[in-house]
Chain A
Amino acid sequence: MSISVPALMGQLLIGLINGSFYALLSLGLAVIFGLLNIINFTHGAQYMLGAFVAWFLLNKAGLNYWWALAIVPFVLAAFGVVIERLMLKHLYKLDHLYGLLLTFGLALILEGVFTNQFGSAGLPYAMPEKLTGGYNLGFMFLPTYRAWVIVASLVICIATWFVIERTKLGSYLRAATENPSLVQAFGVNVPRMITLTYGFGAGLAGLAGVFAAPIYQVSPQMGSSLIIVVFAVVVIGGMGSIMGSILTGFGLGIIEGLTKYFYPEASSTVIFVIMAIVLVVRPQGLFGQR
């Protein structure tokens, strides 16, 4: 079998792009799960919402991509804080599964509302001018925007890892994950920390949505199909470690890209197959403890 380098590199690039989204979203899921013990099914809808808010800002308010990058995370974080205060707060004493069910319901509502308003067809989002074009690397063509997304999400992932693993705030967060009541006894406002964590996770999903808007169509269904893959990514990586989520996200994106080149029929299922294998060999996930 002869290997066409540009085609292979092209698929690898798509893999890396997908991987950046897997990493960003699974990172948010892991952070939320760590503190709230809730699997945020709304994560996909929040990602979709981020893309839509960016679209609104561009087409209704005349604010360009860079403004969207700055505003959207805060809009989504505020939305997340409202959800946490109004609803999730009441579920912490119950079985964790209720959190999953509630956020699933919220995802259905959001997806339904946007499908009603905009139909299933996607809306185009214009690529920001400064990031159009690309570089010819000799063996492949690298579009500037895609390079930007990969670099930006890497930076965000590593910054998040740094804040959680290497700063004082992060140490409070990790301590509260281990034993919230003890941390609260030391005078840390744990409920507020939980609220802000959920807001942070939602903001991260919204930011991923802004990144995605120029690449994919902005559509109501863009989140739900992605979130299921991200769940598989999270199962493969195990939610114990932040760096684990990042590495698994990018790694699986690359594997998916390679599969698209070598055996395209399996490209939509390869991550699920890997999940099944990992569960048989190492049920706690690649980076999971216990």
Chain B
Amino acid sequence: MAIEAKRTPDGEAPALASRDEIWEARYHRIGSIGLFAVLLVLPAVFYPVFLMKALCFALFACAFNLLIGYGGLLSFGHAMFLGMAGYISAYAAKVWGLTPELAIACGTASATLLGVVAGMIAIRRQGIYFAMITLALAQMVYFFCVQAPFTGGEDGIQAVPRGKLFGLLPLSNPLTMYYTVLAIFAGGFFLIHRIVHSPFGQVLKAIRDNEARAISLGYRTERYKLAAFVMSAALAGLAGATKAIVFQLASLTDVHWGMSGEVVLMTLVGGLGTVFGPVAGAFVLVAMESYLSQLGAWVTIVQGIIFVICVLAFRRGIVGELEAWLRRRRGNP
């Protein structure tokens, strides 16, 4: 995709960064180091399966956040990328017998392709319509997955082999699997960080804040939005493809609209548009679901209640509130 970064006249002098920007960069650096230091040692305390589930959802939520937080586009159909990539990756590993990294690459590629098609349709409308369109497209993908023979219908694709990473490292070892997932998550996380802080990301934010103005400055905004949509889809696909290998299963749950709602909730709980929010939200919700799992439909009720509370009283989310508190304490000059 040929998108040229356009620089404002003073944009070439990074030395002019304000104190706020310096503070923010430092906060991101320290936060990231802390986050990954904790993630490296967490398997000593928690079950790797729980952590891997949380990490897959964290990457999924980060991908979703790239679109809503920086592009201002609320997708209510991100499950289609997670689920479709999961199916393709599971199919590639099980039927074609590919090694896990190739299977994951296949899954991610399929989600990227789906993202191009869905994105070209969805970005033709904005705001509420965009949300409804993505939801409808995802429902279409859901019905496709129910009917298509390769997905196994209600059973899904079960007993997917984890295989050996690069044909060498057996992923049946939980710790090897965990650190592989962590590496994938780290890759996705830093890629998003780079995207957001690139000139491309700046233009994206400008479009979010005032699209008419961005157009009048000469930016082809629909291309930027499509590019952001495709990147978000690809990263969501990466999460889904990894998840299928980790849990050795691809099923209809991951393409269902409930999953699209769940990723919205994770991001909302953690903090829309914050760097660490989606990660925090994913861990909180995955933990909650594993505690409430024997209560059946109560999970849905609790999710609904959290939605309502977040929208009415807690719109900044966990990390958003934390950041606001840090800023206050710093005595914003």
Contacts and interface: CB of A to CB of B under 8 A. Distances in A.
Whether chain B is bound by chain A comes out as yes
Interface of A: 33, 39, 87, 90-91, 94, 96-98, 100-102, 104-113, 115-116, 224, 228-229, 231-232, 234-235, 265, 268-269, 272-273, 275-276, 279-280, 283
**Of residues B264, B307, B311, B312, which shows the largest number of chain A Cβ atoms within 10 Å of its Cβ?**
B311
Majority secondary structure of chain A interface residues (helix, strand, loop or mixed) = helix
A109 B305 contact: yes
Contacts of A224: 257
A113 B301 contact: yes
Contact of B307 (A101, A113, A268): A101
Given A108-B303, A115-B297, 13 more contacts: A97-B127, A97-B131, A100-B76, A105-B311, A112-B299, A112-B303, A113-B297, A115-B296, A116-B301, A224-B257, A231-B136, A272-B137, A280-B120
Contact of A112 (B135, B140, B143, B304): B304
Nearest to A102: B311
A115 B296 CA distance: 9
A234 B74 CA distance: 18
Contacts of A91: 311-312
A228 B137 CA distance: 10
Given A108-B303, A235-B133, A279-B124, A272 B312 contact: no
B312 to A, nearest CB: 6
Contacts, number: 123
Contacts of A33: 128
Given A108-B304, A275-B136, A283 B128 contact: no
A268 B143 contact: yes
Majority secondary structure of chain B interface residues (helix, strand, loop or mixed) = helix
Contacts of B144: 269
Nearest to B261: A104
Contacts of B298: 112, 116
B136 A235 contact: yes
Chain B contact-residue range equals: 35 or more
Contacts of B74: 97, 100
A272 B140 contact: yes
B28 interface: no
A111 B300 CA distance: 8
B121 interface: yes
Given A105-B307, A109-B305, A272-B137, A97 B300 contact: no
A104 B307 contact: yes
Interface in B111-141: 120-122, 124-125, 127-129, 131-133, 135-137, 139-140
Given A228-B135, A272-B137, A272-B140, A101 B311 contact: yes
